[in-house]
């Protein structure tokens, strides 16, 4: 059986600067995986290559055995690090958009989650705060029945209550048939829900493994391992 | 993935169609509704021109082209005189007519500016992550947007062109119209009228072909921008795009002014075809995100 994500010797550079420098790793299904790395490690570039938003220089990326393209878009639900529904007037129009373009979008689930957060469909998007926008966006993308969820820095710049909601949403969406890959440098908050971590540094995989195994091997928490591994990265470390 | 979800997955063409419909709606106000509203006054004038044609036939006025002729105003009834007076007023291009023409120009310019901005936003802007996440290949997505932009632009420009044609004379089925080159009474209504006819035929196809050329040129700029991203920084691309867009607009204006014949039509249609192929080849392998990349 194929791995859900299969990345081999992936390279991508921007104006001579190597963002991904021969990255290779694979992921199976039914996991919540943390993609950990300092700022500029290549997390966002990796997600954008995986979703076809950026082209690769060389190497290969396969999702469920299929090379990145229109077909893999059916399998991936990508939650970017910035708000993408800014052009919509109301939450209901954003829901309509998702329903229109993604046949695996579960409208009822989205409405139910939004209602739990006290959002109403006729609420104007422009009037939402940054945290509220992050919540709405997460709900909309996580309401797809995708095979692979890519969450780019979902915990950055949100209050503790929103963080808790995000984690709950991830757990409610996650199942045996899908995998959630979360990029973050705020490890402490999500450590407990991670099954596996992929630590990247300088565009390469620095460390990969099951969280339990890593904890046992190093005798530390994932957060501590992460801090130790990235402490001397040039340009500083994100120590939360 | 469950079989049920598999079965429900939309094919590549469906999202493209959805994109086309969505963009058509988005551009609809500037590209369809406003131009049609602006066309209403000239449609009314066109009806008056048709009445005028009937008057010409009724009085057996010789409509052979190029020859001026004198007519006695007393041969027309008061109603007929009123019709002729309205048309004389229209041919003088009063502020009202000029205002509608300007409104058309502004609408078309706004439409094109909006479409270009939307194109940039969709393929390069911050919400490209949403637009390009749809299960549809980039070239097909590009074609959908292009078609929606073209349809609305053609309607807007077509309305603008027809507005002018409707004001000029009664339109015939072959696209020609009996145009009054000179209409003014020599010494007012009490004296004889000097009327000179001219048969006019203008191809709007030519303008459409030019517009197609411009649109695909813009797409090519977008596609090349994507390729350039790997080599140079985004601000350089943006400046290059703006300069190229101006060059393209200038080329458009120049060709419109200098090449007014219809014999260049085949060449004009060939250029867009080549550009379209270039776009499809380039866009399939380009980067989408420049913002916050």
Highest mean pLDDT among A234-238, B81-85, B249-253 belongs to B81-85
CA distance B203 to chain A (A): 39
Distance, CA of A86 to CA of A128 (rounded, Å): 10
- On the question of pLDDT at B15 being above 90, the answer is no
Q: Round to the nearest angstrom and report the end-to-end CA distance of chain A.
A: 39
Cβ pair A85:B136 closer than 8 A = no
Best mutation target among A67, A100, A151 (most B Cβ atoms within 10 Å) is A100
Contact A104 B5 (CB under 8 A): yes
Taking the CA of residue B107 and the nearest CA in chain A, the distance in Å comes to 22
Q: Is residue A240 part of a domain?
A: no
Q: Do B293 and A14 touch (CB under 8 A)?
A: yes
Does B10 reside within a domain? no
Average pLDDT of chain A to the nearest whole number? 88
Angle of the A130-142 helix axis to the A91-101 helix axis, nearest 10:
30
- Closest chain B CA to residue A16: B231
From B125's Cα to the closest Cα of chain A, the distance in A is 10
* Residue A14 with chain B: CB contacts under 8 Å: 230, 293
Give a yes or no: residue A191 inside a domain: yes
Of residues B60 and A38, more confidently modeled: A38
Taking any CB pair shorter than 8 Å as contact, residues of chain A touching chain B are: 13-15, 44-45, 48, 51-55, 57, 69-71, 73-78, 80-87, 97, 100-104, 145, 147, 177
> Which is more confident, B281 or B187?
B281
Interface test with A, best of B10, B123, B135 (most A CBs within 10 A): B135
Chain A residue numbers with beta carbons less than 8 Å from the beta carbon of B133 are 51, 73, 76-78
pLDDT at residue B291 in the model? 40
Gap from A71 CA to chain B (nearest CA, Å): 6
pLDDT above 80 (res B281):
no
How many whole angstroms separate alpha carbon B153 and alpha carbon B79? 39
Q: Do A73 and B134 touch (CB under 8 A)?
A: yes
**In the prediction, which pLDDT does B257 show?**
60
At A116-166, the pLDDT tens digits run 889 999 999 999 988 889 889 999 999 999 999 999 988 876 788 878 888
Rounded Cα distance, A112 and A80, in Å: 22
Confidence of residue B201 (pLDDT cuts 50, 70, 90): low
Q: What pLDDT does B145 receive?
A: 83
Is pLDDT larger for residue B40 or for residue B255? B40
Residue B292 lies in a domain: no
Check pLDDT > 90 for residue A230: no
Instruction: Determine, yes or no, domain membership for B265.
Output: yes
CB-CB under 8 Å, A76 with B18: no
CATH number at residue A116: 3.40.50.300
A181-190, B149-158, B223-232: the lowest-pLDDT one: B223-232
Contacts of B135 in chain A (CB under 8 A): 70-71, 73-74, 101-102
Q: Is there a domain that residue B268 lies in?
A: yes
pLDDT at B233: 56
* Domain presence at residue B89: no
Q: What is the pLDDT of residue A231?
A: 67
A79 domain-assigned = yes
Quick one: pLDDT at residue B180? 56
Separation in Å, CA of A28 to nearest CA in chain B: 13
Q: Above 90 in pLDDT, residue B187?
A: no
Predicted pLDDT of residue B116: 77
Residue B197 counted as domain residue: no
pLDDT for A205: 94
The answer to whether B285 touches B224, Cβ cutoff 8 Å, is no
Question: Where does the pLDDT of residue B69 fall: very low under 50, low under 70, confident under 90, or very high at 90 and above?
Answer: low
Confidence of residue B60 (pLDDT cuts 50, 70, 90): confident
The H or E element that residue B7 is part of is helix B3-8
A9-56: pLDDT as tens digits: 999 988 778 999 999 999 999 999 999 998 888 999 999 999 988 888
Look at B266 and B148; give whichever has higher pLDDT.
B148
Of A133-137, B97-101, B180-184, where does the model show the most confidence? Answer: A133-137
- Boundaries of domain holding A59: 5-230
Q: Are A55 and B233 within 8 A, CB to CB?
A: no
Residue B68's pLDDT is: 62
Q: Which of A47-61, A173-187, B53-67, B263-277 has the lowest mean pLDDT?
A: B263-277
In chain B, % helix, strand, coil (3-state, to 5) comes to 70, 10, 20
Residue B6 or residue B52, greater confidence: B52
pLDDT reported for residue B164 = 79
- The model's pLDDT over A62-121, given as tens digits with 9 standing for 90+, comes to 999 999 988 899 999 999 988 999 889 999 999 999 999 998 999 999 999 999 889 999
Q: Is the pLDDT of residue B174 over 60?
A: no
The number of distinct structural domains making up chain B is 1
The mean predicted confidence, pLDDT, of chain B is 71
What is the per-residue pLDDT for B290?
A: 45
Q: Is residue B51 part of a domain?
A: no
Q: Say whether pLDDT at B82 is over 70.
A: yes
Asked whether residue A236 is domain-assigned, the answer is no
Encoded tokens for B287: 């980067």
Q: Does residue A236 have a pLDDT over 50?
A: no
pLDDT reading at B171 higher than 80: no
B132 within some domain: no
Q: Is the pLDDT of residue B123 over 90?
A: no
- Which residues on A lie below 8 Å from B288 (Cβ)? 48, 52-54
For the residues of B52-82, what is the DSSP string, one character each?
A: HHHHHHHTT----TT-EEEE-GGGS-HHHHH
Contact A197, A222 (CB under 8 A): yes
Whether residues B136 and A177 touch (CB distance < 8 A) is answered with no
Give the range of the structural domain holding residue B249, as residue numbers without chain letter. Answer: 203-283
Percent of residues, chain B, with pLDDT higher than 70: 52
Split at pLDDT 50, 70, 90, the class of A239 is very low
Cβ contact B186:B193 at 8 Å: yes
Q: What is the pLDDT of residue B9?
A: 46
> CA-to-CA distance for A168 and A162, rounded, in angstroms?
10
Cβ B289–A85 below 8 Å, yes or no?
A: no
User: Into how many domains does chain A fold?
Assistant: 1
List the single residue in A with minimal CA-CA distance to B227. A55
Question: For residue B283, which residues of chain A lie inside 8 Å, CB to CB?
Answer: none
A238 occurs within a structural domain: no
The 8-class DSSP code of residue A55 comes to: -
Whole-number pLDDT of residue B1:
41
Closest Cβ opposite residue B135 in set A14, A73, A85 = A73
Among chain A residues, the shortest Cα distance to B228 is held by: A15
What is the mean pLDDT of the segment spanning B227-240?
59
Residue B252 has pLDDT above 90, yes or no: no
């Amino acid at each position: 059986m194929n791995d859900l994500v299969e990345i081999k010797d992936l390279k991508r550079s921007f104006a001579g600067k190597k963002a991904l420098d021969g990255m290779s790793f694979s992921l199976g299904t039914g996991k919540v995986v943390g993609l950990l790395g300092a700022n500029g490690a290549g997390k966002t570039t990796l997600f954008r290559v995986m979703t076809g938003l950026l082209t690769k220089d060389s190497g290969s990326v396969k999702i469920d055995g299929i090379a990145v393209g229109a077909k893999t878009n059916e399998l991936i639900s990508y939650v970017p690090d910035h708000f993408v529904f800014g052009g919509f007037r109301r939450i209901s129009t954003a829901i309509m958009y998702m329903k229109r373009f993604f046949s695996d979008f579960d409208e009822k689930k989205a409405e139910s989650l939004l209602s739990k957060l006290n959002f109403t469909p006729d609420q104007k998007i422009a009037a939402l705060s940054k945290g509220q926008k992050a919540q709405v966006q997460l709900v909309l993308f996580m309401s797809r029945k995708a095979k692979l969820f890519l969450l780019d820095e979902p915990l950055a710049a949100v209050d503790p209550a929103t963080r808790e909601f995000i984690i709950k949403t991830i757990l409610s969406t996650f199942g045996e048939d899908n995998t959630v890959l979360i990029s973050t440098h705020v490890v402490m908050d999500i450590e407990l829900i991670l099954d596996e971590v992929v630590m990247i540094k300088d565009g390469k995989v620095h460390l990969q493994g099951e969280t339990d195994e890593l904890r046992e091997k190093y005798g530390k928490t994932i957060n501590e391992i992460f801090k130790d591994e990235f402490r001397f990265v040039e340009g500083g470390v994100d120590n939360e | 993935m469950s079989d049920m979800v598999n079965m429900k997955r939309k094919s590549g063409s469906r999202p493209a169609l959805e994109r086309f419909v969505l963009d058509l709606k988005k551009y609809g106000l500037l590209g369809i509704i406003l131009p049609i509203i602006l066309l209403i006054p000239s449609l009314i004038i066109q009806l008056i021109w048709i009445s005028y044609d009937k008057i010409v036939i009724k009085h057996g006025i010789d409509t052979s082209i190029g020859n001026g002729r004198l007519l006695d105003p007393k041969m027309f009834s008061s109603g007929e005189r009123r019709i002729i007076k309205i048309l004389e007023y229209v041919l003088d291009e009063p502020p009202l007519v000029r205002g509608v023409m300007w409104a058309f120009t502004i609408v078309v310019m706004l439409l094109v500016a909006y479409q270009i901005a939307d194109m940039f936003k969709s393929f390069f802007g911050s919400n490209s992550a949403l637009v390009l996440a749809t299960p549809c290949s980039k070239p097909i997505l590009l074609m959908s947007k292009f078609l929606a932009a073209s349809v609305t632009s053609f309607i807007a420009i077509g309305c603008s062109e027809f507005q002018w044609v409707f004001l000029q004379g009664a339109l015939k089925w072959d696209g020609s119209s009996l145009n009054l080159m000179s209409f003014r009474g020599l010494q007012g209504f009490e004296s004889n009228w000097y009327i000179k006819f001219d048969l006019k035929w203008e191809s709007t196809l030519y303008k459409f072909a030019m517009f197609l050329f411009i649109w695909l040129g813009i797409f090519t700029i977008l596609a090349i921008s994507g390729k350039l991203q790997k080599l140079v920084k985004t601000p350089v691309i943006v400046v290059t795009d703006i300069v190229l867009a101006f060059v393209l607009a200038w080329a458009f204006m120049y060709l419109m002014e200098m090449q007014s014949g219809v014999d260049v039509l085949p060449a004009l249609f060939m250029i867009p075809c080549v550009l379209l192929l270039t776009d499809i080849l380039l866009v399939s392998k380009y980067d989408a995100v420049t913002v916050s990349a």
